Amino acid sequence: MDILKSFSLEGKIALVTGASYGIGFAIASAYAQAGATIVFNDIKQELVDKGMEAYRAAGIEAHGYVCDVTDEAKVQEFIAQVEKEVGVIDILVNNAGIIKRIPMTEMSAEDFRKVVDVDLNAPFIVSKAVIPSMIKKGHGKIINICSMMSELGRETVSAYAAAKGGLKMLTRNIASEYGEYNIQCNGIGPGYIATPQTAPLREIQPDGSRHPFDQFIIAKTPAARWGNPEDLMGPAVFLASDASDFVNGHILYVDGGILAYIGKQP
């Protein structure tokens, strides 16, 4: 076995959802470096344009599309269009996600549903759309972007935690249901990563001090820092490559050690 070759994505087509920037962009860039053709979508044309510019600047020829991943009919059309214009998807990363930080008793059922729709229903919808062609092709990799909240709870993120906990179990179920077709479905559980999604938790305070949540995360993380989207590149390539062909239904936490640690005594 050529071990380095087993990590290569040469000749593969990878779709990363919501990948104009942030974690999705970093993962797609890693896949391009490993040899894959990149397809991404985002919810608005401006975001896709911004993403296309960022990929071009990184020397990557990506294929960008507008598609709301919560709309099943649109997703089916989108996947059919990708298959026609680019080819059958070998690797799907369900990355698009949202969070609403609202205390549960103040949260409307509509807001709760919206979060579950993007963070849980959409990975079901997109996976369902790609699995039949993966079965025909004889292989496939699905990677669901989970969270610390797939394991832990905290104030204000009830909908997000419910959705990401559900996504962990959807991951295991896809692995169980389609493993026999040589489809591996795994999750990545990022720790606290510095992206626009977590920017409000890192805002410098009026007196110039760090946000209390920022200080809390540093104390909770053995690595004593926030993660960067780049920290997810190696694990994402591993789970997309032949090197992980017997890894199925696993959630790989990339968290600087948060889940192993009780936290620093104040």
149 binds ligand GCO (CB under 6 A): yes
What are 155's two structure tokens? 């104030």
Q: For the chain, percent helix, then strand, then coil, each to nearest 5?
A: 50, 15, 35
Q: Which of 31, 40, 78, 160 binds ligand GCO (CB under 6 A)?
A: 160
Structure tokens at 232: 């997810």
**In this structure, how many other beta carbons lie within 10 angstroms of the beta carbon of residue 242?**
14
Closest separation between CB of residue 154 and ligand GCO, Å? 6
Q: Which of 31, 55, 65, 160 is catalytic?
A: 160
In the complex with ligand GCO, which residue's Cβ is closer, 64 or 191? 191
Contacting range for ligand GCO; rule: CB under 6 A; set: 3-11, 35-43, 45-53, 148-156: 148-156
Q: Which amino acid is at 201?
A: L
Q: Tell me whether strands 37-42 and 63-66 are parallel, antiparallel or unpaired.
A: parallel
Q: Closest distance between ligand NAP and the C-beta of residue 180, in Å?
A: 28
Window 80-109: residues binding ligand GCO (CB under 6 A): 99, 101
| CA dihedral sign of residues 189, 191, 192, 196 | negative
Minimum CB–partner distance for residue 98 and ligand GCO (Å): 10
Task: State the DSSP code for 168.
Answer: H
User: What are the CA-CA distances from residue 35 to residues 28, 97, 155, 216 (Å)?
Assistant: 11, 26, 41, 39
- Pick from 24, 123, 191, 256 the residue near ligand GCO by CB under 6 A: 191
Q: Which of 6, 45, 197, 228 binds ligand GCO (CB under 6 A)?
A: 197
| Closest to ligand NAP by CB, 135 or 251 | 251
Q: Which has the closest alpha carbon to 128: 161, 180, 89, 97?
A: 89
CA distance 93 to 95: 6
| Number of shown-chain residues binding ligand GCO (CB under 6 A) | 13
CB contact at 8 A, 157 and 192: no
Q: CA 98, 99, 104 angle in degrees (round to 5)?
A: 145
178: annotated active-site residue? no
d(CA 50, CA 20): 7
Tokens of 129: 């759309």
Query: What's the closest the beta carbon of residue 162 comes to ligand GCO, in angstroms?
Result: 12
If contact means CB under 5 to 8 A according to the sort of partner, which of ligand GCO, ligand NAP, none does residue 101 touch? Answer: ligand GCO
Chain residues that interact with ligand NAP, rule: CB under 6 A: 17-18, 20, 22-24, 41-44, 47, 68-70, 95-98, 118, 145, 147, 190, 192-193, 195-198
Binding mask 23-62 for ligand GCO (x = CB under 6 A): ----------------------------------------
Establish if 147 lies at the interface with ligand GCO (CB under 6 A): yes
> Amino acid identity, residue 181?
Y
CB closer to ligand NAP, 135 vs 254? 254
Which spans of this chain sit near ligand GCO (rule: CB under 6 A)? 99, 101, 147-149, 154, 157, 160, 190-192, 197-198
Residues labelled as active-site residues: 160
